[in-house]
Amino acid sequence: MKYTFGVPDMSCNHCKMRIEKTMNDSGKVKSLNVDLQSKKVSLESDLTENDLIKLFDDAGYDASAEK
């Protein structure tokens, strides 16, 4: 399933790299695009929206799904 999340606290390249590492290390994300300028993360995964939000929490960021 494809998701887009808003990550308002993502403000620098370190933030971007941390989110990418957490998502990629999960082994559950098929594709990932982290856009620092728009503060949005688009991804494809079989995980649920809540599971993905937990991964953002693990990375240290609040995220909300965009509908």
User: What is the structure's pLDDT at 67?
Assistant: 78
Q: What is the mean pLDDT of residues 45-60?
A: 97
Task: Give the whole-angstrom CA distance, residue 40 versus residue 42.
Answer: 7
Say if residues 5 and 63 touch (Cβ distance below 8 Å).
yes
User: What is the structure's pLDDT at 15?
Assistant: 97
Residue 23 clears pLDDT 90, i.e. is over it: yes
User: What is the structure's pLDDT at 13?
Assistant: 97
- Does pTM top 0.85 for this prediction? yes
